[in-house]
Amino acid sequence: MSILNIKRRKIKPTHPGEMLRKDFMSEYGLTVTKLAEVLGVSRQTMNELLRERRSISPIMALRLSRLFGNTPEFWLNAQRAVDLWEAEQSYKKEIENIQPIHAIAGAH
């Protein structure tokens, strides 16, 4: 059984790196160097994430949630939204060519 989800996003969701740059770093007065240091990652890793050239990994989600007092799911869900949107844009025609299948009534 499937649940229809007919609403599609028209604009790209906010990347977690942009959220970090615009919302968290300024609010907490963090620089790239300081953020990398407190998270225990390289400055290059932090830079790539902030420039949206790197995705949030589960371990990074754990680090960020510990630092900012939110959940790892917050960070992973933000990344998932971006990943799904990008995949949908990249493979739109290919996905549209797949015909939905329907269950046979009364079948077990």
Can you give the pLDDT at residue 89?
A: 96
Lookup: tokens for 90:
């990249």
- What share of the chain in percent tops pLDDT 70? 90
pLDDT bucket at 103, cuts 50 / 70 / 90: very high
Can you give the pLDDT at residue 105?
A: 84
Q: Are 39 and 64 in contact (CB under 8 A)?
A: yes
Q: How far apart are the first and last CA of the chain?
A: 12
CATH match of 16-96 with 3.30.70.20: no
Window from 2-11, 42-51, 65-74 with minimum mean pLDDT: 2-11
Say which residues have a Cβ less than 8 Å from residue 103's Cβ, sequence separation at least 6.
1
Predicted model pTM: 0.83
